[in-house]
Amino acid sequence: MKVFADQLPAALDKQLPKVVIVAGDEPLQHRDACDALRQAARQAGIEEREVVDVEPNFAWGKLLEVANNLSLFSTRKLIEVRLGNQKLGQEGTKTLAQYGEQLAQSEDVLLISMGKLDARQQKSAWFKTLDKHGLFVPVWPVDSSRLGFWLRDRAGRHGLQLDLDAARLLGEHTEGNLLAADQELQKLALMLPPNARVGVESIAQGVDDSTRFDVFNLADACLKGETSRVSRIVYGLRSEGVEAPIVLWALSRELRTLLSIHQHLDQGQSFEHACKAQKPMIFDKRRPAYQKAIARLPMKRLHKLLLMSQRLDLAIKGASPVPLWPGLHDLAFTLAGGRGMLAESAWTYRLH
């Protein structure tokens, strides 16, 4: 059964399952979910814990050996399988399916800690077998639109009352890095009295800028029309030393995707069908952002932006005098619905 990370403690209070699969790449929520199960296991009287680290060429028979070994201290034990981003392979999937078939006779609790699980993997035999006996906890990064609310709630766990504006400012300082945000909240909790109210001033004066940017954040912000965030990410990418060709690749890919969607719509196809026709297919979670961008950007505008990206490609190769990083900002900002810092007439001149 699927349970999101913030719902896991309540689910564990009702019943301790025989299997919990925590899957995803966001480290703070991943850690919290695993800690919640460990605490629930201790409260249930499980004192023994076996950790199995899966490395390249791992012999999966070890998991069954650990499961079949009698506990020295109690009738039950917690078995942790730490996969990280390692692939299961045929041996791994076969072993986990076999473990699932033996769960009816087992008193142990299995925790599988791993990277992302896509839809195809969630339909596999091993996953279905284990899922029947436990919980699946997908760990997703917190969307930028929810980040302020998430941090406000998180502050309560540290005995702080964080104003929403302060939470949003903290989110700007630590965008994409929940571990850094949580560390800042812990520092504030040590410095301030219990149940202290934290405003914008405290965040502005006391929080380190731990922002972590990537080109996928930039692409999402462009699609959603978040112009101020686009500017912040572009400058952040430049300051962090991200190569300009990588930024241009991400923006050009979104431009071509939007043009392809437009073409499908002009042929009388539905928006849903147009999204499914893309390679890779646009999944449900990202479709609202594309729909918003399509409504904002007609084909003529997208073609002009694609010409801008081609000119920037020449600049990267030294074949055009266009200023590279201002041009990348201009491209991203215009894609998000703003008007770039470079004059549009200047771009028109260069493009012709």
- Do 201 and 107 lie in one domain? The reply is no
- Do 173 and 117 lie in one domain? The reply is no
- Do 112 and 128 lie in one domain? The reply is yes
Tell me the per-residue pLDDT of 272-303, one tens digit each, with 9 for 90 and over. Answer: 999 988 877 787 788 899 999 999 999 999 99
Q: Which of 121, 139, 157 is the last residue of a domain?
A: 139
Q: Which of 89, 108, 139 is the last residue of a domain?
A: 139
Q: What is the pTM (predicted TM-score) of this model?
A: 0.64
Q: What is the rounded CA–CA span in Å between residue 163 and residue 182?
A: 16
Helix (H) or strand (E) holding 23: strand 19-24
Q: CATH number, domain at 128? A: 3.40.50.300
Residue type, 116: K
What domain range includes position 225? Answer: 215-351
Start-to-end CA distance of the chain, whole Å, equals 58
Residue type, 151: L
Residue with tokens 């996953």: 127
- Do 318 and 230 lie in one domain? The reply is yes
Tokens of 348: 């028109």
Q: Which of 110, 139, 168 is the last residue of a domain?
A: 139
Tokens of 273: 């069908």
Tell me the per-residue pLDDT of 130-168, one tens digit each, with 9 for 90 and over. Answer: 988 899 999 988 888 888 999 999 999 999 999 999 898
Q: Are 86 and 116 in contact (CB under 8 A)?
A: no
Q: How many domains does the chain have?
A: 3
- Do 232 and 286 lie in one domain? The reply is yes
- Do 40 and 126 lie in one domain? The reply is yes
> Residue 17: what pLDDT?
92
- Do 74 and 98 lie in one domain? The reply is yes
Per cent of the chain over pLDDT 90 is: 43
Q: Which residue intervals of 192-343 are DSSP H helices?
A: 200-206, 215-224, 227-239, 244-266, 271-276, 287-296, 299-316, 324-335
- Do 191 and 247 lie in one domain? The reply is no
- Do 253 and 282 lie in one domain? The reply is yes
Tokens of 216: 């996928």
Q: CATH number, domain at 186? A: 1.10.8.60
Q: What is the rounded CA–CA span in Å between residue 43 and residue 275?
A: 47
Q: CATH number, domain at 222? A: 1.20.272.10
